[in-house]
């Protein structure tokens, strides 16, 4: 899980499928609970959590990299 969102977008589809098969086998043999999310879902959740943190915490170190918020 460490830095999954940093490298997940650069992995080919065939490599993603191989990684997902490891997760499926770990579920099958009881190393992971059946409710464990796929790596794709875990990556999306990590991205959303990071963006939410950057967007709504005024002193986040990455806040300065976002464009100013538009007023509706």
- Give residue-wise pLDDT tens across range 25-37: 999 999 999 999 9
Q: What is the mean pLDDT of residues 7-24?
A: 93
pTM of the model: 0.75
Please tell me the predicted confidence (pLDDT) of residue 5. 81
Please tell me the predicted confidence (pLDDT) of residue 58. 86
SS3 22: helix
């Amino acid at each position: 899980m460490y830095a999954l969102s940093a490298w997940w977008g650069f992995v080919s589809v065939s490599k993603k499928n191989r990684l997902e098969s490891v997760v499926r086998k770990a579920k099958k043999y009881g190393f992971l609970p059946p409710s464990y999310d796929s790596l794709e879902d875990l990556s999306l959740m990590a991205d959303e959590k990071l963006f939410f943190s950057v967007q709504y915490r005024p002193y986040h170190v990455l806040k300065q990299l976002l464009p100013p918020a538009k007023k509706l």
